Structure 1
């Protein structure tokens, strides 16, 4: 019997892709395309660009459009891209989503409008209705549940209401809350209707696949996708022992990645991996790691066993 992993558009491991930058802190599209190719060749099934890890809300609408267009022009398959298009202004969300649609992306990931706090479900429903109706279909919408960052959660009632009103558009969720019970509740309520639930944390990949979820969309996949890919391969093969071992490495790398400011830390690993110090560039208010943090952080990452999985892949 086919699982949600097989049925989902982005089923499996998706990286929340870092956005490299030039000396002027503009997106470096050549470097981002090279990193995207590496991710797709090393365990990633898809690429969540312009999300939290990609610092999307530190970029203008024009810059975000340039990133989408630039990656596709560089040969990154649009079919593998899930751009983040959720903005505080619904007109910006419409513009970005229309670009993703024109480029041929299957879906977009949409934050709720995050400036005004404690909006009602009626207000959120109205916001998403404006976006969906103005875009006019032809692209799927994945909602982004990250209340710690946006301060605007998606209730089960709101998701159900959106699915009922727009069954051909509302396709899934990235849940970065860290609350597995909430992910499981969404699977139980909506997966039978084809709703794809993705964990925003690597530690839940194996568990969510077995429970009927679609996979993960994670920041640490920038550096641990070989382990994530190993979990998915073992799950498909029914190899419980290999799956457990790969998940242990995946969980360990996640723990290390979140032991320091996440984006700065991941940039350090990629800078070392590529030999390119440009990866350390980051837009304020985010900051690179402090020099005294780098050595212990990299040593802890190496101690997880990720290198052995990379060789096996």
Structure 2
């Protein structure tokens, strides 16, 4: 089951040089990503700098991207906050702006117990008519969505997917075998591995700069060309490492590389800081080698 598509990009949020929301740039980037192979876009996620964009900017971004891509790809809106009431407000606004689904991260910072996390997700699931993908990323939130909690949440008809950044591959396989939850690899190094055991696809930051290459991994597997899929995953691995494992957030590296490629990006918002020139040069060298 792939309720939101298969090759989803965790899209950056373009800003103008002055730091304002760049809706024209967002439309051009979204069109580029969909044309190059993404069948879903995740807006206002971690890579989209959701902590530093306003509620109005989030809604405007959805509306603009919807206008640019039409029905060629799904739009999944990140609406997660540590505040259940605020998250529900963002969910309703995303639905009104034209989103197809919601990405809801576990409440962060306040570290609620599992019964409170479950209640939070259930309230968001009833706030709109949109399907939900739950975002399990304990390294950032400080809270795991425990497997037993996910088993119960899977019974809700609008809780349909998980973006998995738990690094618990065993639990992911067990939950896929016991539920109808669609599992999306949220860590680019796990794209092929999770897909091979029944995953629905990926929510990829690297797809923001190399969408066709990320999609090719899944296309090859679907075609039964498993050895080729492995080669392609290995081929993209240096870019995954350069973007996601060099000590900088993926937002920073993605924006640096997109700008160097002449695509809409703009600066990051504080407290994030831009990549330096040496880092950008190294990113571009790796990109050129991987995509040659």
Q: Using a 3 Å threshold, how does the CA distance of structure 1 residues 40 and 244 change in structure 2: closer, same or farther?
A: same
Higher helix share: 1
Mapped partners of 1:232, 1:148: distance in 2: 26
Match of 2:170 in 1: 181
1:208 aligns with 2:194: yes
Match of 2:126 in 1: 133
The DSSP-based 3-state class of the residue aligned with 1:10 is coil
Contact in 1 for aligned 2:259/2:265 (Cα 8 Å): yes
Q: Using a 3 Å threshold, how does the CA distance of structure 1 residues 75 and 221 change in structure 2: closer, same or farther?
A: closer
Mapped partners of 1:51, 1:141: distance in 2: 14
1:263 aligns with 2:263: no
TM-score relative to the length of structure 1: 0.86
The DSSP-based 3-state class of the residue aligned with 2:265 is helix
1:281 aligns with 2:275: no
Mapped partners of 2:113, 2:256: distance in 1: 40
The structural deviation recorded for 1:76 is 4.2
1:160 aligns with 2:151: yes
Q: Using a 3 Å threshold, how does the CA distance of structure 1 residues 75 and 295 change in structure 2: closer, same or farther?
A: closer
The DSSP-based 3-state class of the residue aligned with 1:289 is coil
Mapped partners of 2:9, 2:69: distance in 1: 18
The DSSP-based 3-state class of the residue aligned with 1:198 is strand
Mapped partners of 1:142, 1:78: distance in 2: 20
Segments of 5+ residues of structure 2 without an aligned counterpart are: none
Matches within 5 A, 1:5-84: 7-77=1-71, 80-84=74-78
Match of 2:114 in 1: 121
CA RMSD in angstroms comes to 1.9
Mapped partners of 1:279, 1:36: distance in 2: 11
Q: Using a 3 Å threshold, how does the CA distance of structure 1 residues 79 and 234 change in structure 2: closer, same or farther?
A: closer
Q: Using a 3 Å threshold, how does the CA distance of structure 1 residues 283 and 148 change in structure 2: closer, same or farther?
A: same
The structural deviation recorded for 1:104 is 4.3
Mapped partners of 1:299, 1:286: distance in 2: 23
Match of 2:160 among 157, 171, 176: 171
Mapped partners of 1:77, 1:26: distance in 2: 27
TM-score relative to the length of structure 2: 0.92
Q: How many residues align?
A: 290
Mapped partners of 1:302, 1:79: distance in 2: 27
Contact in 1 for aligned 2:34/2:69 (Cα 8 Å): no
The structural deviation recorded for 1:236 is 1.8
Mapped partners of 2:131, 2:94: distance in 1: 10
Segments of 5+ residues of structure 1 without an aligned counterpart are: 1-6, 308-313
Q: Using a 3 Å threshold, how does the CA distance of structure 1 residues 280 and 62 change in structure 2: closer, same or farther?
A: closer
Match of 1:3 in 2: none
Contact in 2 for aligned 1:267/1:280 (Cα 8 Å): yes
Mapped partners of 2:275, 2:41: distance in 1: 25
The structural deviation recorded for 1:24 is 3.2
Mapped partners of 1:289, 1:161: distance in 2: 42
The DSSP-based 3-state class of the residue aligned with 2:76 is coil
